Amino acid sequence: MTRMRGNAIVGQAGGPTAVINESLVGVIEESFRHDHIDRLYGARHGLTGVVSEDFIDLKRQPKELLDTVARTPSAALGTSRDKLTPEFREKVLEVFQRHNIRYFFYVGGNDSAATVQAIHQAARDAGYELKAIHIPKTIDNDLLGNDHCPGFGSAARFVAMAFIGDNLDNRALPGIKINVLMGRDAGFLTAASVLARRREDDGPHLIYVPERVFDLDRFAADVIGVTKRFGRAVIAISEGIRDPYGKHWTTRIAQNLEQDSFGHVQLSGSGALADFLAGFIRSNLPGGPWRIRADTFGYLQRCYPESISETDAREARLVGQMAVIYSIQDFTAGSVALERLPGVTYASGVELIPLDVVAPPTPPFTRSLPDKFVNEAGNNITDAYLPYAGPLIGPLPPLGWFEQITSAPVEDSASIATGPGFS
């Protein structure tokens, strides 16, 4: 298929991230540089805006605004969680044909990649020439075929920062602190809590991810062990932890469960899991009374404006730009993927991979935390994770303390340490 002149459309789907607008602006600015794209439509709220023809002419937006939008968290076009039915798919194609839309750019996760693939297939079946490109986005970092995903670095930076503060807080006023983090099936984001550690006795002391079975008695034993050793415990737990039967603990606990249109059980937006675990520890931890607190980080992890990773922002912009560049090459469909280039210092590149790599027809549909990142006991993250995630979140602040602050003997040597991400 040769380069074809026509209109283009871009949409954003799924949960917003802090840098998803960088990808949007990457598409917009790159489209300015290529005359094969006449008009660039922005579809409001994903496919919902496509079928209702609720568009913005993105080529008419001032440069100054685009620069600011790029740095603004969440999806400037609005997003959606549309389930693509055959009827819906036909409507989308009708709109594309009516507006001579020949380039379809869609920013989202694996569900969105499947959507792009279905629409591309429908166009091919109808003999309508369409280039369909998926642009990756997810704070879960679980897209297949990618080393890491735009949106993850900034969410992971927020998590690391939050744990730096929470560990220092817990050190000053010791107790048991349980923090529940986002992550339905993948523990990448929960694992990022390990980046907060500087000292051997720093929290998080225990980290539980969905890739390992979460057993309550085992959990109690772990917490007892840590409190005996350090007199306190800071714990990171993924909202996606499952029982020995593979069932989400949240589904066993939370009230008023919701399901989204993909049939996912709603895990976020509730403190039920954290409160249940705190209550369980309170009634099972010997030698109290212990100061026990539980926080659920919730949606704060997704779009916090002041902890955006520069690496994440730059890569999110890049995958948007590359989607447009790939659209003039001899591909009709694909997904822009981030790869890590070999070498001692961090460097990343992009490639266009088949859509069915990111959205395969059969399980596994998403990527899990590699075994090398989880310790044998399944209650912590290994040091192997640090060089993987450190460069993605960017430098962490230096921290200072007076040595042995929580121990009895007087001791006043000094120490300054910087985190794994610090450069």
Among 306, 330, 345, 361, binds a copy of itself (CB under 8 A): 306
Nearer residue to a copy of itself within complex by CB, 241 or 272: 272
Nearer residue to a copy of itself within complex by CB, 52 or 329: 52
What are the phi and psi torsion angles at 171 (to 5°)? -70, -40
Q: Which residue in the list 140, 166, 185, 312 is annotated as catalytic?
A: 140
Site for a copy of itself in 93-152 (CB under 8 A): none
SS3 396: coil
Instruction: Identify residue 74 by its one-letter amino acid code.
Output: S
Least Å distance, CB 216 to a copy of itself, is: 16
Q: Which residues contact 231 (CB under 8 A, 6 or more apart)?
A: 174, 406
Site for a copy of itself in 171-200 (CB under 8 A): 171-173, 177
Least Å distance, CB 345 to a copy of itself, is: 24
Q: Does 67 help bind a copy of itself (rule: CB under 8 A)?
A: yes
The CA distance from 356 to 354, in Å, is: 5
Tokens of 308: 């955006």
Stretch that binds a copy of itself, among 89-97, 163-171, 213-221, 351-359 (CB under 8 A): 163-171
Q: Do residues 134 and 149 lie in contact, with contact meaning Cβ atoms separated by under 8 Å? A: no
202 belongs to the catalytic site: no
Nearer residue to a copy of itself within complex by CB, 92 or 123: 92
Stretch that binds a copy of itself, among 132-140, 299-307, 332-340, 377-385 (CB under 8 A): 299-307
Nearer residue to a copy of itself within complex by CB, 164 or 323: 164
The binding track of 330-369 with respect to a copy of itself, each residue x by CB under 8 A or -, is ----------------------------------------
Among 6, 39, 74, 357, binds a copy of itself (CB under 8 A): 74
Q: Do residues 206 and 233 lie in contact, with contact meaning Cβ atoms separated by under 8 Å? A: yes
Tell me which long-range contacts 267-270 makes (C-beta under 8 A, separation of at least 24).
267/182, 267/184, 267/239, 267/240, 268/182, 268/239, 268/298, 268/299, 269/298, 269/299, 270/296
Among 35, 87, 263, 414, binds a copy of itself (CB under 8 A): 414
In sign, the C-alpha dihedral spanning 367, 309, 346, 160 is negative
The CA distance from 183 to 206, in Å, is: 16
Least Å distance, CB 353 to a copy of itself, is: 27
Q: Does 291 help bind a copy of itself (rule: CB under 8 A)?
A: yes
Q: Does 83 help bind a copy of itself (rule: CB under 8 A)?
A: no
Q: Does 292 help bind a copy of itself (rule: CB under 8 A)?
A: yes
Least Å distance, CB 224 to a copy of itself, is: 18
CA 40 to chain centroid, in Å, comes to: 27
Nearer residue to a copy of itself within complex by CB, 116 or 178: 178
The CA distance from 423 to 421, in Å, is: 6
Q: Do residues 108 and 134 lie in contact, with contact meaning Cβ atoms separated by under 8 Å? A: yes
Among 39, 91, 218, 293, binds a copy of itself (CB under 8 A): 293
Site for a copy of itself in 236-275 (CB under 8 A): 255-256, 258, 268-272, 274-275
- E strand or H helix at 233, and its extent? strand 233-238
- The residue assigned the tokens 């166009």 is 123
Nearer residue to a copy of itself within complex by CB, 13 or 122: 13
SS3 136: strand
Strands, E, within 311-386: which ranges? 333-340, 348-353
289 bridge partner residues? none
Site for a copy of itself in 27-66 (CB under 8 A): 42, 44-45, 52, 54-58, 60-62, 64-66
- The residue assigned the tokens 């001791």 is 411
Site for a copy of itself in 369-408 (CB under 8 A): 397-402, 405-406, 408
Nearer residue to a copy of itself within complex by CB, 39 or 124: 39
- Active-site residues, by number, are 140
